Amino acid sequence: MTEFFQQLINGLAFGSILALIAIGYTMVYGILRFINFAHGDVFMLGAFAGFYLAPKIATVFPLPSIAGAIAVLIVSMLICAALGVAIERLAYRPLRKRPKLTVLITAIGVSLFIEYAGQFFFGAAPKKFPDILPVLPITKIGGLSLNSNQLIVLAVTLILLVALRFIVMKTKIGTAMRAVSFNPEAAALMGVNTDVVISFTFALGSALAAAAGILWAVNYPSIDPLMGILPGLKAFVAAVLGGIGNLPGAALGGLIIGVTETLVSGYISSTYRDAIAFAVLILILLVRPSGLLGKKEIEKV
Amino acid sequence: MLEIKNLAVSYGAISALHGISLSVQAGNIVTLIGSNGAGKTTTLKTISGLLKPKSGEIFYDGKNIAGLPPHEIVARGLSHVPEGRMIFSNLTVLENLHMGAYLVRDKKIVRRELEFVFATFPRLKEREQQIAGTLSGGEQQMLAIGRALMSQPKFLMLDEPSLGLAPLLVKTIFEKIVEINRERSLTILLVEQNANRALEISHFGYVLETGKITLSGDSASLRQNPQVKSAYLGG
């Protein structure tokens, strides 16, 4: 039983990171109806932003420290938010009125571009992510050994999800995001500059991906320019699983994939670990084609 | 207040408006009548910026607004209640109304406008917290009009407000349009298939046929016009 809970916590920590990435996929889909395949690479850029920032931030806040780690997290999020806006501006906006397939293929191109530009600038060899968080002694609660980094992943994810929910549900720009995702023409008639809302969506999604990148690097400190591919793909699966376009769905999907994958590799075989996400996806889509929390798109005339 | 000169619009190779000209005097209700596919909706969509004109000018308060993006046109005081209402079904009634006031920064003004909308359509007040997609057709039309009023427009465009509504509701909606026009001295451009009612409440009318204006005149005289009578008023 203890082992099960241990695996569950590992799975939830991994799933939280997937959830943060998945939200970016689902938000962009909700507004533009296309999959931003470069999103997983923004996750990688988040980790690298942290890697290069850490020595600079260490001059202000000595690292490892909580304050320093928060500074690294926030600055990486800001950098990736700006990068996300730039990607949309340069690659996707010129194709706004083109068929969705054109944009989708461009997204794959952007993804490859970032991955190989990353190899060019950062080098292809894996790098060791610096220790930005003080390593706290492992706490034991009834036989369970809780790693402080995992608890931090869960806490940061929770805080970010609550903040996101507040932005989307309670603020003016969040209401505009929901309006644009329902009907961009009608939102424009209300005076909403849809370009601004789209940029904001990319900024928000990319910032969350950056946070995921930092959390990932804190737990698995080896980072390389191709590290975004597999988590990106799994997060995409998580978004589809939860119902693409649905924010709570993306979070739920991430947790389900994370937990299932960890349990399967713990109890059955770790060889099949990477196939689990897709197996779960196929199973759920057979029963619920629009995802767990997704709604069928009905047009009311 | 609004002056359209030789406006031409096309969808790809298909021309929808072949150089129409019309003008709307401040304080009036002006109606644009015509059959399906005549170009009524195209005209409104071009004024509000959803469509880009091929040629021609749209002067609003003396300035050419043709080709501006929709959000800049709303900012100048033109508000468009689109065909099919296009309310945000995923938002609550209140959130829909707040979206209408998206460009209004002063919270006091938003509150005042909200009160006005609730006074005009008490039904919306009762349904304030309801998801807009659950409203009936008539309520959705009220919401669409209320939402458009939230931006404090000086010029309101209504596209087929009576479409799909029960006769009794049609009557209410038309009464509200007259009320809004009088009480807020709001200029209104009304597109309608229900030509009879539209000519009843409007001051001036234009008849649009396959992308051209074929007739115009004050509404009272249009109602007597034999051509209009046989084509649009059912004999």
Q: Mind listing the pLDDT tens digit for each residue in B108-155?
A: 999 999 999 999 999 999 999 999 999 999 999 999 999 999 999 999
CATH top-level class for B2-232?
Answer: alpha beta
Q: What mean pLDDT comes out for the span A144-163?
A: 90
Check A191 against B147: CB less than 8 A apart: no
Q: Do A189 and B74 touch (CB under 8 A)?
A: yes
8 A C-beta contact, residue A179 and residue A168: no
Residue A297: pLDDT band (50, 70, 90) is low
Give the residue from B48, B202, B180, B185 showing the smallest Cα distance to B117. B180
Q: What is the mean pLDDT of residues A213-224?
A: 95
State the amino acid at position B60 in one-letter form. Answer: Y
Distance separating alpha carbons of residues A256 and B69, to the nearest angstrom: 43
Lowest model confidence (mean pLDDT) among A209-218, A229-238, B7-16, B69-78: B7-16
pLDDT at A296 over 90: no
Instruction: Enumerate the residues of chain A whose CB falls inside 8 A of the CB of residue B107.
Output: none
Please report the pLDDT score of residue B235 as a whole number: 60
Between vectors from CA B64 to CA B62 and to CA B66, what angle results, nearest 5°? 145
Q: Pick the range with the lowest mean pLDDT from A8-22, A123-137, B68-82.
A: A123-137
Task: Name which of A178, A191, A194 is nearest B90 (Cβ-Cβ).
Answer: A178
Cis before A64? omega within 30: yes
Measured between CA atoms, how close is B168 to chain A, in angstroms?
20
Among B48, B73, B79, which Cα is nearest to B150's?
B79
Assess B197–A contact: CB distance below 8 Å, yes or no.
Answer: no
Q: Which amino acid is at A107?
A: A
* Least CB–CB distance from A186: residue in B88, B98, B103: B88
Predicted pLDDT of residue B6:
94
β-bridge partners, B14: B11
Contact between residue B19 and residue B53 where contact means Cβ atoms under 8 Å apart? no
- CA torsion angle B153 B159 B160 B165 (round to 10): -50
State in Å, rounded, how far the first CA of chain A is from the last one: 54
What is the pLDDT at residue A300? 44
Q: What share of chain B is helix, strand, coil (3-state, %, to 5)?
A: 40, 25, 35
Higher pLDDT, residue B195 or A86: A86
Find residues 132-191 of chain A whose CB sits inside 8 Å of chain B.
Answer: 172, 175-176, 178-179, 181-183, 185-191
By the CB < 8 Å criterion, does B42 face chain A?
A: no
- The DSSP-derived string for A123-145 is -SS-EEPP--S--PPPEEETTEE
pTM of the predicted model, to two decimals? 0.91
Alpha-carbon distance values, B204 to A272, B1, B38 (Å): 74, 14, 18
Question: What does A151-167 look like in DSSP terms, one character per residue?
Answer: HHHHHHHHHHHHHHHHH
pLDDT value, residue A39: 97
**pLDDT given at position A35:** 93
User: B83 — contact with chain A (CB < 8 Å)?
Assistant: no
DSSP letter at B131 equals B
A296 in contact with B, Cβ within 8 Å? no
pLDDT in tens, A249-281: 999 999 999 999 999 988 888 888 888 888 888
Distance, CA of B173 to chain centre: 12
Query: How many percent of chain B have pLDDT more than 90?
Result: 83
Tokens of A186: 């009608």
Q: Residue B157's closest chain A neighbor by CA? A: A189
pLDDT, tens digit (0-9, with 9 covering 90-100), for B38-79: 999 999 999 999 999 999 999 999 999 999 999 999 999 999
Confidence category of residue A88, pLDDT binned at 50, 70, 90? very high
* A232 closest CA partner among A50, A70, A74, A45: A45
B157-178 residue pLDDT tens: 999 999 889 989 999 999 999 9
- Token output for B60: 């609003």
Domain ranges of chain B: 2-232
pLDDT at position A299: 47
pLDDT at residue A149 in the model: 85
Tell me what pLDDT residue B2 has. 95
Instruction: Please write down the HEC assignment for all residues of B95-110.
Output: HHHHHHCCCCCCHHHH
Candidate ranges B91-95, B223-227, B228-232; pick with highest mean pLDDT: B91-95
Q: Taking CA B150 as the corner, what is the angle to CA B147 and CA B155, rounded to the nearest 5 degrees?
A: 95
Judging contacts by C-beta atoms under 8 Å, the chain A residues touching residue B88 are: 178-179, 182-183, 186-187
Could you report the predicted ipTM of this complex, rounded to two decimals?
0.92
Average pLDDT over every residue of A228-250: 95
- Which chain A residues are within 8 Å of B48, Cβ to Cβ? 189
Q: Calculate mean pLDDT across residues A210-218.
A: 97
